[in-house]
Amino acid sequence: MILKFANLSKCSGLIHAVTTRYFKAADDFNLADYAGRNNEQAIANRRLICEYLQINFDRLTVAQQRHNSGVAIVDDRNAGTGKFGGEHAIPDSDALITELKDTPLMMFSADCPLVIVYEPDKSVVGLMHCSWRAIVKGIVANTIDTMRENFKIDVRNLIVGVGPGAGKCCYRVDEKFVEAISTAKGLENFVVKTKNNMTFDLHGAILYQLSDNGIANSQIETMGICTICDERFFSYRREGTRAGRFALIASTK
Alpha helices in the chain (DSSP H): 6-9, 42-53, 132-137, 139-151, 175-181, 202-212, 236-239
CA distances from 216 to 81, 151, 170, 247 (A): 33, 20, 27, 25
User: Of 101, 60, 72, which is closest to residue 252 (Cα–Cα)?
Assistant: 101
Contact pick of 20, 167, 236, 247 for Zn ion (by CB under 5 A):
167
Which span sits near Zn ion by CB under 5 A: 60-68, 99-107, 150-158, 220-228?
A: 220-228
Q: Does 158 bind Zn ion (CB under 5 A)?
A: no
Q: How far apart are CA 119 and CA 95, in angstroms?
A: 15
Contact pick of 11, 43, 155, 170 for Zn ion (by CB under 5 A):
170
Contact pick of 53, 226, 248, 250 for Zn ion (by CB under 5 A):
226
Task: Provide the mask over 119-138, with x wherever binding to Zn ion is found by CB under 5 A and - wherever it is not.
Answer: --------------------
Question: 90 to 109, contacts with Zn ion by CB under 5 A?
Answer: none
CA distances from 62 to 43, 85, 94 (A): 11, 8, 10
Task: Provide the mask over 178-217, with x wherever binding to Zn ion is found by CB under 5 A and - wherever it is not.
Answer: ----------------------------------------
Shortest spacing between CB 86 and Zn ion, in angstroms: 29
Q: Does 164 bind Zn ion (CB under 5 A)?
A: no
Shortest spacing between CB 152 and Zn ion, in angstroms: 40
CA torsion angle 207 213 218 219 (round to 10) = -100
Contact residues: Zn ion, CB under 5 A:
167, 169-170, 226, 228-229
